[in-house]
Every structure is written in C-alpha cells, then in structure tokens.
Amino acid sequence: MNKNMQKSLIKIIIALILFVITSVINFNNHLINNIIFIISYIIVGYSVILKAVKNILRGKVFDENFLMTIATIGAFCISEFPEAVAVMLFYQVGEWFQSYAVDKSRKSIASLMDIRPDYANVCREEIIKVSPEEVDVDEVILIRPGEKIPLDGIVTKGTSTLNTLALTGEAIPKRVKEGDEVLSGSINNDGILKVKVTKVFTESTVSKILDLVENASSRRSKSENFISKFAKYYTPIVVVIAIMLAIIPPLLIENATFSDWLYRALSFLVVSCPCALVISIPLSFFGGIGAASKIGALVKGSNYLEALSQTETIVCDKTGTLTEGVFKVGKIEAIGYSEAELLRYAAYAENHSNHPISISIKEAYNKKIDEKLVTNTKEISGKGLISQVNKHTVLIGNEKLMNEYKITFTKNQGIGTIIYIAIDNKFAGTITIADEIKKDAYKAINLFKENGIKKIVMLTGDKENISKEVADKLGIDEYHAELLPQDKVTETEKLMRKKAPNSKLVFIGDGINDAPVLALSDIGVAMGGLGSDAAIEAADVVIMTDEPSKLATAIKISRKTMKIVKQNIIFAISVKIIVLMLSAFGLATMWAAVFADVGVSVLAILNALRILRIKNIE
C-alpha cells in the first residue's frame, strides 16, 4: 500500500469514527452534532471539493467530483447532515477501493517495470559505472552477481544462471556460458559475466518492453471508448433532469414541498454518478494486460486484448513458431559402413563448413575432429562438397551431386532434408536432417481447439512433404507450403476475406519475413524469444518465450476480461436505472443512492480484480 493510500485510509477511519459516534451516541445537541458532522465531512470531502473547483476552472464541469459536491452541499442545505457525510464518506471508500485495485493491478506488471537497469559497469581503461545510454555497441560490460543485465549482448567470459522471470514469465533460471546471447532485463544470479554489447540501450530488449508496457494504456478498447462517450453525455443530462426534478414538481403538484423534491433530486444526483463504469471498465482491461504480462505475453493495448477475445482463426508460421527452427540429425541409413562410421566421415567432410546442416552433423558427431585428416575440401555450389578424409574421397550433398559424379544411389523417400554420402565413388548411405516440432506446439494446438478456435492454418516456405508431416502430427486444419513472403501475404488476405464479419484472425510468427503478415492480420503475434526486431515492431502482441501455447492463455485471459467487462456494464447500468427511478418517485432514500453509487462501484472493482487470479486461468 503506497503512502497516499495510507493517508486516505487514515482520513476515512477518523471520519467514520466521528460519524458513528455522532450517529449512535447522539449528544442531544443539534449544534454539537452538526459541527462534528461538518468536521467529519471536511476530513473526507475537502479533496473532492478542491478537485471539483479546479476542474470547473479548467472547463471540466460535469464529473463525479462535481456531482458529489453538489449532492452533499445540497443535503446540508436541507439539514440532512448524516446523509451528506455518508455520501462523501462512502464515495471516498469507493475511491480507496479503486486506488487499491489499481495498485494491485500495477503490481502484476511491476516486475516488468523493475527490469529497467540503473547503471552499466563498462570496461574501458578501468571498470567504470555509467548510465546504460552511454554504452556503445562492441564495448564490454561487467555484470556481477545480483545485478541486472543493462544491455543486450554476447557473453565473452564467465558462466552463470540468469533470472528471466520478468522477461519470459518462466521461473526456471537460464544457464549461460561464453558465446551465448543475453538479454537486458535479466538478473545475473551467481557468476561474474563479461558481455560484449550488441545493441544500444534504445534498441535493447528492456527498452522495447518498457515502451510496450508504458504505452499499452494509450490504445483504448471499443468498450472504454463507449464508456467515455457515454459518461460525456450522460452526466450533463442527469444534472439537467435533477434540476428539473427539484424545481418543476413543487410548482405543478399541489401540497408538494420544495425540500422533499430537492431531497429526491439530490438522491438522483448521487445515483447518477457513473463511477462504477468509468472506474471498473478501464481497470478490467488494465488487470487483463497485467495478467497477460505475468505469463510472458505483452499486449500493446486494451484494444488488442478486446480483439483477442473475438479470435476464431489462427494462422501460424512453421519454422521457429511450431518447430524449433534448428536442424538436427534424424535417421542415419548406412550401406557397407556402420551408422557411427558414416556419421564420422560426414562430420569430417563438413568440418570447414558453417552451413546449418553442416553444424547439425558435427553436433550429432559430438567428438573432436582431427583437422590433419581433412584435406582438399571443395564446395560445389547448390549441390554439396567433396573432401579428402584420411585419404578417402568423400562426396556429401544432394541428389544433384550424386548425379554429377555418376554415383549409383538409392533415393531416400523420407521426410526432411536428405544428405547423400559416397565414399571412394561408392554410395555409402544417407543422413536425414529434420527440424523438430516443439513439444509446446502440441499443447498450443490442443488449447486453441479447447478455446473454441474454429480454424488453424499453417503457412510455410518449407517443402510440401515436410509441411504435410508437421500439419498431420499437430492436427492443423489447413496448410500451405513452399510459400515466398509475398505468398504468405496473399494467403492471409484470402483467409481474411473468408472469416466471419465479427471474428478476428490472428497471425503468429517469429521471422523478419513475417512482418508484412503480422501487420496485415487483425492481430499480429510475435514470438519474442527468438523473434526479430522487425516482427516485434510489427506485432500487436509479443510472446516473450518461444511457446505458442502462451497465445492460447492470452486468448483465455482476454475472454475472461471481456466477460467481466460485460458483467460490470450490465450490473452497474441496471442498478442505477432502478434506483434512479425509485429516487425520482421518492421511494429511495439517499442511503439507497449511496449504495447504488459507491456500493456498485466497489462490487464492480472487486469483480474486475478477479482477472488477476492467474492460477484459475492457466
């Protein structure tokens, strides 16, 4: 609880004690009772009256401060001292609950705001402490245990574990060593690290995340815009009705008293305050964005959170989104050699190549290569390479390479990238290289279907047979393979035209070639862990891990948020209409008016806070 909330609570308690003492004990002296009521009123009402006056001077007349001030001063004028104090007291109780709710919601994203680094230890002639903004690319920084990593970079020395909870929502520490990439905003747990900076502070991960969070509230949902417009016209109208209610009936109705109708008008004003809607609706969205941030999904605005709830079609990229995005050796089929021998020849032949396929073969071999045994390596563009390995001629590549050297071989019909190997001009077998499906992808597709997603489509530039296998294994409804970036745009446009008018299409991807589709779709979702800067910039939602299932959870959060928003709108308007009518006919006292205003506000706020119960969402 912050200091302002503590001060407000103390004022409320003091005023409440004075109010209860005066109401219950009663000093049998109207003057003393009224003085105590006035003191109690000033304690809790001074700030409201001051705000009302300041807003009137600024030209902003019809707000809740004005309504509360007029209603309570009017109650004093007709000698309804207890009602006047009660209205202001319980209004302040409602305001305190609002502050509490906002404070609680802010704490849900406080960890994100805490990731801002205060300094960087930069290694120049000596280690000096400077602002992260003063560090240039390629400079080396030192991160001690317990310190935040101030800038993105690559570890040049040391090993450690990093706390990435604020970035990814994952509690398991990440182990890093020399050569690994580290992201700003992570916290160094144990070892001392030296990191070579790869991005200036304004382009770093922490800077981008903070910018997303700070600007999220500026993008308002349709529901919030509706409530703002509603309050803008609604409040002046009810003030005019209240004035007419106080003046016209006493003039037209026989035996009607001015004080009676003024009391009704004041009760009408208290009820009319749209606090429950104006407070709880934005709070619900704020809480929803905070809840999503807790699980590592950054939503750039409440308009996107609202749109997520209407998702019926999800379009996925394949590589890096549904698959790991890295090549791994799958099946080895050897002829005349053991599998281990074939892999050894392949690894030695590929020793000097940095192609992803070469790297995957060497990783699978996972033994030290004696470079003296490898000579005369020659790369044949688009086909493979030829190399001398321990005086044996090794050909390794695709079918074209085998045909060029007139090697008789057996075609492999397997799924994946097939590497053909010949040793001393004789076919020796094949190695299948494949991109593995993420374990989380299975979970994601199942959750999408459980959440009522009607169509899941995969768009990829990969081969037809590989794409079909991935789609079949995951249970994807539709896929399109061998697409260029512009083809993905064309296919997405077709899907956008086919979807239902009120439904939304979400595209989730991670690569720079996905940026056009992210911008085109109703909601673009970028995989932030491996995602490119261009994709993150173009996206409306950023998943800070490489887990597509986070999107399913974000959709669930958005739907729960919208459910709460609709509940609050219906509840608040229904209660207010009923009590407004009762007040106009003199059937509701100012106490009922207080409940219709403050009580409804408190209940709506408490209902909005339910969105923060993440355990019930995941």
Q: Which residues are catalytic?
A: 317
Cα–Cα distances (Å) from 569 to 282, 577, 608, in that order, read 12, 12, 11
Half-sphere exposure of 446 (CA within 13 A, CB side): 6
The CB density around residue 58, as the number of other CB atoms within 10 Å, is: 8
The CB density around residue 583, as the number of other CB atoms within 10 Å, is: 27
Q: CA–CA separation, 321 vs 546, rounded Å? A: 7
The sheet with strand 140-143 has its strands ordered as: 127-130, 120-123, 140-143, 193-197, 153-157, 181-182
Burial class (CB in 10 A: 0-12, 13-18, 19+), 528: buried
Closest C-alpha to 155, from 117, 130, 188:
188
Q: Give yes or no for a contact between 43 and 226, defined as CB atoms under 8 angstroms apart.
A: no
Cα–Cα distances (Å) from 127 to 140, 575, 584, in that order, read 10, 65, 74
Residue corresponding to tokens 């209409």: 577
One-letter amino acid for residue 322 of the chain: L
Supply the DSSP string of 129-157, one letter for each residue: EE-GGGPPTT-EEEE-TTPBP-S-EEEEE
Residue corresponding to tokens 């261009």: 534
Q: Give yes or no for a contact between 568 and 287, defined as CB atoms under 8 angstroms apart.
A: no
The CB density around residue 591, as the number of other CB atoms within 10 Å, is: 15
Extended beta strands in 183-256, E state: 187-188, 193-197
Q: CA–CA separation, 359 vs 81, rounded Å? A: 83
Q: CA–CA separation, 277 vs 314, rounded Å? A: 32
Cα–Cα distances (Å) from 322 to 170, 172, 175, 474, in that order, read 19, 22, 24, 9
Q: Give yes or no for a contact between 477 and 495, defined as CB atoms under 8 angstroms apart.
A: no
- 346-376 in b/e burial notation, b at 16+ Cβ within 10 A? bbbbbbebeeebbebbbebbeeebeeeebee
- 443-481 in b/e burial notation, b at 16+ Cβ within 10 A? ebbebbeeeebebbbbbbbbeeebbebbbeebebeebbb
Q: Which residues pair with 311 in a beta bridge?
A: 504
Q: CA–CA separation, 353 vs 339, rounded Å? A: 21
For strands 187-188 and 392-397, give the pairing. unpaired
For strands 392-397 and 417-423, give the pairing. antiparallel
Alpha-carbon dihedral angle through residues 460, 461, 465, 471, given to the nearest 10 degrees? -10
